[in-house]
Amino acid sequence: MQCKHPIRPSPVPTPEATEREARGAIAAALWVDSLSFGVLFGTVGAFGLVAGYTTGFNPGWLVFALLGSTVFGGGYGFLVGQIVGLTLAVIATYVPRRSRTRVLRTAIPFVGLLVSVVPVILFVGHITAQVARFTAFDAALTLTGSALIYRRYRRLVARWERVIEAHRVH
């Protein structure tokens, strides 16, 4: 029995097609990395917040507070990761290749701090010593996540440049 639709071999990828594929893969990776680091560092930040406000030792309250902080911090980190990741994906997709690295190097920490730290300050409305400590802790976590995302971006770019160069040789 013969198939009505024979399988055709895929065409040999061109460097331009590979460049489009690389751009899409890098944008998706930036989005996923922003989500994962957002959830991770949001949860860590919420744990830090709970640990800073917990006085005395009541095991029941501590377990309840840590579980609540995980949900709240992970949710807040997920929201921050969504906004930052989608912004970085748009930048990685539409900014020209030559200036993409410079733009992302600046945009990753800027967008991260803008989305994660500024709402905390606006929500509280006034700066106290505790809010300043938490904001500094939040900024440190955001900058750590930004550095990890940028490092991953540079590795992905190097890998995809080798693939594109290999297609140019053939």
Mean pLDDT per block of 10 residues along the chain (170 residues) reads 54 68 88 92 84 68 78 89 92 88 91 86 75 84 92 90 75
Domain carrying residue 75: 23-169
* Position 1 in a domain: no
**In 3D, which of 136, 114, 144, 111 has the Cα closest to residue 49?**
136
* Position 9 in a domain: no
* Position 31 in a domain: yes
Rounded to two decimals, the pTM is: 0.78
* Position 16 in a domain: no
- Among all chains, which residue has been given the structure tokens 């055709």? 8
pLDDT at residue 65, rounded to an integer = 76
pLDDT at residue 121, rounded to an integer = 76
* Position 159 in a domain: yes
pLDDT at residue 106, rounded to an integer = 92
Distance of CA 137 to the CA centre of its chain: 18
pLDDT at residue 111, rounded to an integer = 92
* Position 124 in a domain: yes
pLDDT at residue 98, rounded to an integer = 85
pLDDT at residue 132, rounded to an integer = 80
Provide the number of structural domains found in the chain: 1
pLDDT at residue 9, rounded to an integer = 47
* Position 28 in a domain: yes
* Position 132 in a domain: yes
Q: Are 115 and 146 in contact (CB under 8 A)?
A: no
Task: Give the Cα separation of 146 and 117 in Å (integer).
Answer: 13
Q: Are 117 and 85 in contact (CB under 8 A)?
A: no
User: Helix or strand or coil: residue 164?
Assistant: helix
